[in-house]
């Protein structure tokens, strides 16, 4: 049960209502995570700005979803796994590819390197090694993409921690279980 419930539109002040309307217009509805963030308009506005900016990054939508799935899996965020499984499919990932990403894998060398690098950032609190950088570069990642991967990890840490703290009720289809190899 959610520790903080989503803000109801009828309880929203003008600023909150404007943000919720913005979300509704873009997405066709307001997911529970965003309705809950709306209790703190600065947080919702920050999230919308950050995620919107990352949507303009050089990373493909499919790669951004792969990173989100890998980080969400590592951080055991059921809400994010459900949301990014759905968003990943909208970005062209098959169910098998979403499961691969959750295992820290991808079919192409560059996507695999990006997901691996994202997980190294998470595992090392950003203290990646020279070897981690060299592996990323050898797989074809450039400086811009490496920096954008850092930002994607940070964005997902925000949502993962948010969902853990408030225990956001999942309003996406549940993500399938990952089977051990």
Look at residue 180 and tell me whether its pLDDT is greater than 90: no
Q: Would the pLDDT of 181 be above 70?
A: no
pLDDT digits (tens, 9 = 90+) for 37-73: 999 999 999 999 999 999 999 999 999 999 999 999 9
Q: Break the chain into its structural domains and give their ranges.
A: 10-54, 61-166
Q: How far apart are CA 20 and CA 101, in angstroms?
A: 31
Nearest CA among 64, 68, 33 for reference residue 47: 33
Q: What is the CATH number of domain 61-166?
A: 1.20.1290.10
Q: Which of 31, 47, 42 is closest to 158 using CA atoms?
A: 47
Q: How confident is the model over 3-13, as pLDDT tens digits?
A: 999 999 999 99
Give the pLDDT confidence of 91-120 residue by residue, as tens digits.
Answer: 999 999 999 999 999 999 999 999 999 999
Residues 70/175, Cβ–Cβ less than 8 Å? no
How far apart are alpha carbons 168 and 166 in whole angstroms?
5
**158 Cβ contact list (under 8 Å, min separation 6):** 47, 50
Assign domain 10-54 to its CATH architecture: Up-down Bundle (1.20)
């Amino acid at each position: 049960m959610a520790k903080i419930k989503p803000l109801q539109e009828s309880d929203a002040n003008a600023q909150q209502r404007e943000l919720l309307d913005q979300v509704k217009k873009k997405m066709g509805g307001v997911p529970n995570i965003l309705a809950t963030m709306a209790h703190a308009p600065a947080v919702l506005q920050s999230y919308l700005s950050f995620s919107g900016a990352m949507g303009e990054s050089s990373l493909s939508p499919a790669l951004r979803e792969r990173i989100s799935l890998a980080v969400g899996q590592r951080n055991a965020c059921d809400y994010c796994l459900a949301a990014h499984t759905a968003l990943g499919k909208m970005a062209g990932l098959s169910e098998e590819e979403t499961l691969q990403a959750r295992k820290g894998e991808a079919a192409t060398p560059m996507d695999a390197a990006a997901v691996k690098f994202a997980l190294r950032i998470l595992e090392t609190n950003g203290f990646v090694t020279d070897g981690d950088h060299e592996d990323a570069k050898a797989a074809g990642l450039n400086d811009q993409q490496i920096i954008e991967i850092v930002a994607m990890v940070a964005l997902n840490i925000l949502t993962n921690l948010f969902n853990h703290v408030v225990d956001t009720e999942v309003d996406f289809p549940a993500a399938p279980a990952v089977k051990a190899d």
